[in-house]
Structure 1
């Protein structure tokens, strides 16, 4: 008898996804070139993530040795579908700007994202730096559906907020994923 674990990787990148990562990296290097107008302190990363209210013990804590005749022990898995909430976090070089908890039975849509989240981000930036316009802000968010919709991209253009490129499956560019 022996115990084995499989190695888990988040995603295997295709050749096109690797090329897109390189293209985005080159674009980011050009944006932040030496003596350029853009600074790293202008970046505002933001991301949404689900947090369960129930702490589920890791699977490795439920392991045990059994012989060939022993029954497999049963562990009750908690049902936490109704006990999780979506948190949206935006921050910059000086700390958190906005933390929002999506109400239960509500869906994150482009309208909610623009009216609730972006307006809070804009006011937080204006509060921190009243003499600086939002046109120097560089927004870094992933490619979730509500981020790519026209209802989101149009108001961002009107505010003068530039959206930085974010290739698929790139948690290293989204610190919220850590």
Structure 2
């Protein structure tokens, strides 16, 4: 096959991303001279004199002393090149620079001890009667659903060719319009949702008034659950720990499970239910509260039972 024919074939296949004619001609000439590989020939280059065992150890000690130290600072201290320090960090030591993970609150030693004790106690209860535990379990939490919550940067990712223009995304904040939903659910699905009226605030009496409604919903939707004894889990928000609400839980006959302080990763609503809901409706613009409520209801109603039980 001639060079021109190969070039036309590559153009037809690759379009605008195809290599130029000069490159095709160069490789045709190379292959005619007996070359059999497309890989670059090995080059001697300038030998590295900075990536030594001594410098590797020095860089490692500096990083272990201060993990936020920059490559530029290490260069200034050790008087070796930027590329050598980068090679030592990545190739020799296997380091990579990452951002700190955001957590809601730094736990004290007492918080950690309490978290461990409560988690072990709840786990033992689950292991003792795993089937009954899931049948008895009910949890709740509240969440804000905005009229418009912009999609995340990851959600906006799309494929592009190298020659295509860069994709732009404008920074947009969630709208002020929102609906506060208090969601009560178990391993079979949603039991009861209350949408807080505009102008009302979250208080102990507000939640205390919801508990009898939740009890009626359990009685209607989960036959036998009340006689087994409801295991009720909520977080430690002030409104949830008020005496009036705790009294309402006792009057309903619910057994209140302990929840470790500042531990959203142990609250099923926080780590499973609400993130899935927000992910589904993020990027959609709602004109009013009724549209938001309809979207929330549709999302929960469209889920199979295993969605609420699997995690």
Match of 1:108 in 2: 202
Residues in 2 aligned to 1:140 and 1:50: alpha-carbon distance in whole angstroms:
20
Match of 1:68 in 2: none
Residues in 2 aligned to 1:138 and 1:99: alpha-carbon distance in whole angstroms:
18
Match of 1:93 in 2: 187
Residues in 1 aligned to 2:99 and 2:147: alpha-carbon distance in whole angstroms:
27
1:144 aligns with 2:237: yes
1:19 aligns with 2:113: yes
Q: SS of the residue aligned with 2:143? A: strand
More helix by share: 2
Match of 1:70 in 2: none
Match of 2:260 in 1: 167
Residues in 1 aligned to 2:185 and 2:255: alpha-carbon distance in whole angstroms:
16
Q: SS of the residue aligned with 2:240? A: helix
Residues in 2 aligned to 1:134 and 1:124: alpha-carbon distance in whole angstroms:
14
Match of 1:40 in 2: 134
More strand by share: 1
Match of 2:247 in 1: 154
Q: Which has the larger radius of gyration?
A: 2
1:123 to 1:5, Cα distance in 2 relative to 1, 3 A: same
Aligned-CA RMSD value: 2.9
Q: SS of the residue aligned with 2:102? A: coil
Q: SS of the residue aligned with 2:135? A: helix
Q: SS of the residue aligned with 1:147? A: coil
Shift of 1:177: 1.1
Shift of 1:118: 1.0
CA contact (8 A) 2:150 2:174 kept: no
Deviates more, 1:24-33 or 1:12-21: 24-33
Q: Structure 1: which 4+ aligned runs deviate by more than 6 Å?
A: none
Match of 1:126 in 2: 219
